[in-house]
Chains A and B, each alone.
Chain A
Amino acid sequence: MNRKVVEIAGRELSLSNLNKELYPSCGFTKANVLEYYGRIAEYILPHLKDRALTLKRYPDGVEKEYFFEKRCPAYRPHWVETAEIRRDDNEQMTVCLVNNLETLLWVENLASLELHVPLAKKNSPETPDAVVFDLDPGEPANILDCARVALILRDVLSRLQLASYPKTSGQKGMHVFVPLNSPQVTFEDTKKFSKAVAVIMQKKYPDLVTAKMAKEERRGKVFINWSQNDSAKTMVCVYSLRGREKPSVSFPLEWQELKDLTGQGNPEKLQVMYSKAVSRVGKQGDLFREVLVKEQRLPHL
């Protein structure tokens, strides 16, 4: 059946093109995508809650064109919660808030395979809840190099009394989150902090790390993209699918596991696919829950 009307919490939602293959190389259809998000909902929703969603839509699947959509489409159902945010150019913009299962499935029905959110919530857009280190490998560096950098970062951060949490980006990189959850912190603080750490990492590990944005500086190294600590930037949400050839997920790992996998030297083992993601959260729960609640302070700022 290619169309289906479902009712969630008394709200009707019409799902369409269910047989469309959004990941054609492995026959993964829109129905599969909706099923994935339905099963992961309990874990992803707390991380999406009250954050201005950026949709990354693949209307004709991952092999065709995609586009980003920041505005919440005007044809949204009336029950979709929204927020008004002010953009850089001072224009008001209405954005979607994915605060419940029906909204999650509605955006997935729009083939928004990837869900991107800012580091701050809608009511405090200038207060980041975490510092993020976005580790991006420049060819031929790969996710294993990112994992090595992540492990060093964890060591540095823990000596600053800061707990940190890694996840795969679901593409080639890794993200390390340092939860703060303090109303006093600003993006200026988090950017200053992450940049200082990135610059010193580059200084001490010049063959492995760069803190510079320029493409030619990044070849064979892991770029620590500290500039993601900005109110105007978004990160792919933990548990979001990625629009790669296969349905991989941005997935949280335990440090010990990351260390073991890195030791094995196979970059593929660091990727988590949708089916593994579902079975793992069933067993271990949300490894990223501390990111939402743990209160920490950045030193020396």
Chain B
Amino acid sequence: MAAQGIWSGTISFSLVAIPVHLVKAVQPGRVAFRSLHNTDFSPLVRRMFCPKQEKLVPPEEIVRGYEIEPDRYLAITDEELESVSPERSRTIEIVEFIDMKEVDPIYYDHPYYLVPSKGGEKAYRLLVEVMQRTNRAGLAKFVLVEREYLVAIKSTEGALTLFTLHYSEEILPDEGLAPKEGKLEAREKNRMKNSIKEMMADFDPGKYGNKHREKVMNLLQQKMTEHALVEAPAVEEEEEGEGPADLVATLENIMREVKKSR
């Protein structure tokens, strides 16, 4: 069965409509850990704490606040936010075909694969091939989970990939970061160019495995064989007393009758 994914709908432009669904293209290789209490290895949970009242705050007492200035907020409810969140898109409407070379990687946010849904296979292949040959990418606006994204759809090794892009206002200016004063001499430029030339290679990401992850996994494997497993204790609330007094009294009476009748 094909992967079903995060979203399904249609890519469309002019008279073309291709049914597709969106699936993850990357799986971060980070090894996930839970936080445990080192005295008894109970898994810990996060709770919201009010430093003023010095107590834990239950979820129903939490609202969002937009900070206007230090210690001044606009409180806003989930309902209010929902009222301005966009409708989920049913289509990815391509508005322009751009040259992918013009998109600096700084704009790339997150990659996904687009997979053809039933009946879309042929049109999908056609689009993959033509975009590959022309090195063009489709630009579209698209709502995925309550947020409108600017996305680029391009062809990557026989498949359509979709990149969510950062909006231009999200890109921080590089002013003041890079020095621009002073003249660079031709001799120095040449020397730098030669150094780079000597180290030129084709990009082969397979050469660079995630060594850190590998080491962590080896460490875990080793601990496993040493039986260094720790087990969390079963959760038990040892409250005082046996329960509400009325209930306990009633139960006491009933239990006497039950024992007598058996």
Q: Show the binding face of A for B, using Cβ within 8 Å.
A: 14, 74-78, 86, 88-90, 152, 155-156, 159-160, 192-193, 195-197, 199-201, 203-204, 212-214, 227, 299-301
Contact = CB atoms under 8 A, between A and B. Distances in A.
A204 B259 contact: yes
Interface residues on B, range: 20 to 34
Given A201-B255, A227-B237, 5 more contacts: A156-B251, A160-B254, A212-B236, A213-B234, A300-B244
Interface string B239-262: 000111011101110110111011
B45 A89 contact: yes
Interface of B: 1-6, 8, 21, 23-24, 45-46, 59, 234-237, 242-244, 246-248, 250-252, 254-255, 257-259, 261-262
Contacts of A203: 255
Contacts of A75: 1-5, 23
B254 A199 contact: no
A200 B4 contact: no
B142 to A, nearest CB: 18
Contact of A227 (B8, B236, B243, B248): B236
Nearest to A201: B255
A7 B236 CA distance: 47
30 contacts: A14-B1, A74-B23, A75-B23, A77-B1, A78-B8, A78-B21, A88-B45, A89-B46, A90-B46, A156-B251, A159-B254, A160-B250, A192-B243, A192-B244, A192-B247, A193-B243, A193-B247, A196-B242, A197-B251, A199-B243, A200-B248, A200-B251, A200-B255, A201-B255, A204-B255, A204-B259, A213-B235, A300-B250, A301-B244, A301-B247
Contacts of A299: 247, 250
A159 B46 contact: no
Contacts of A76: 4
B3 A74 contact: yes
A13 to B, nearest CB: 8
Nearest to A199: B242
Contacts of B236: 212-214, 227
B179 to A, nearest CB: 44
